[in-house]
Amino acid sequence: MTSHPRNIVITGAGSGIGAAAARAFAASGDRVHLVDLSQERLDTVAADLDQVTTHRIDVSDAHEVRAAIESIDVEFGSIDVLVSNAGIFDGLAGIQETTYELWDRIISVNLTGAFNVIKPVSEVMVRQKFGRIITISSIAATRTLPDGLSYDASKAGLEGMTRRLAVDLGAYGITANTVAPGVINTSIQETSHELLGGMIPDTTGGDNIAANANFLETAVPARRSGQPSEIAATIHFLASTGAAYINGEVIHVDGGWIAS
């Protein structure tokens, strides 16, 4: 394990779970490298943190991602933890509503985007013979309602990829695990509508299960939605020395939804 400050790369760090994770690591004295598509959101999160860098990147652009990861490695000498969190939502679109364009964009960010970041980061971690890779999936990978087709597929693919990473990288002192949140109070639906615009069908984009008391009452034993800080706490643990023997796991943080 490296000494402080560790270098932590977090994608989708401009809001929600990514921002909460950034705050958790910063509170531990780590150096946090924030990646997001919105410079405005990055600046807002970074304003409250010490030892932070920001990188406005579209994770679906492999060349752009590699350049940023290489610059972090060159300047700071290590990448100790990756939190691959960047993701967008498809507005609950089923097969009838999912266009080729919508499918391609969701997969390119949620699944290919994760690969684009993990590939160069893993090269750094193999060299240093240490690392923690933490991907952020969703209960949607297992419980496919009430989510959309491309979103479900991207999260299931992310879990499969992470299990294989555990096999490929375990001998180098690297762990790869997935955190699968349930209903969490974030702005992912609003942000996704902002980014995807007309690609999201109007007929499916208005539901917000985080605010649906009836759904929470019947499907989630905790009878409430979760907070980004609760996901961040799990992420922070998986990056710790206490989690060194946890590898290839999917950890649901969902108030008991998966058990119901």
3-state secondary structure the chain: CCCCCCEEEEECCCCHHHHHHHHHHHHCCCEEEEEECCHHHHHHHHCCCCCEEEEECCCCCHHHHHHHHHHHHHHHCCCCEEEECCCCCCCCCCCCCCCHHHHHHHHHHHCHHHHHHHHHHHHHHHHHCCEEEEEECCHHHCCCCCCCHHHHHHHHHHHHHHHHHHHHHHHHCEEEEEEEECCECCCHHHHHHHHHHHHCCCCCCCCCHHHCHHHHHHHCCCCCCECHHHHHHHHHHHCCHHHCCCCCCEEEECCCHHHC
| 114 lies in some domain | yes
| 260 lies in some domain | no
Ordered strands of the 52-56 beta sheet:
52-56, 31-36, 7-11, 81-84, 131-136, 174-181, 250-253
**What's the confidence (pLDDT) of residue 204?**
44
Ranges of the chain whose pLDDT falls below 50: 203-206
| In contact, 219 and 106? CB cutoff 8 Å | no
Q: Which structural domain range is residue 101 located in?
A: 7-252
167-189 residue pLDDT tens: 999 999 999 999 999 999 987 77
**How many separate domains does the chain show?**
1
| 259 lies in some domain | no
| 226 lies in some domain | yes
Active site residues: 151
| 257 lies in some domain | no
**What's the confidence (pLDDT) of residue 146?**
66
**What's the confidence (pLDDT) of residue 205?**
42
| 151 lies in some domain | yes
Q: Tell me, what CATH number does 61's domain have?
A: 3.40.50.720
65-98 residue pLDDT tens: 999 999 999 999 999 999 999 999 888 899 999 9
**What's the confidence (pLDDT) of residue 78?**
98
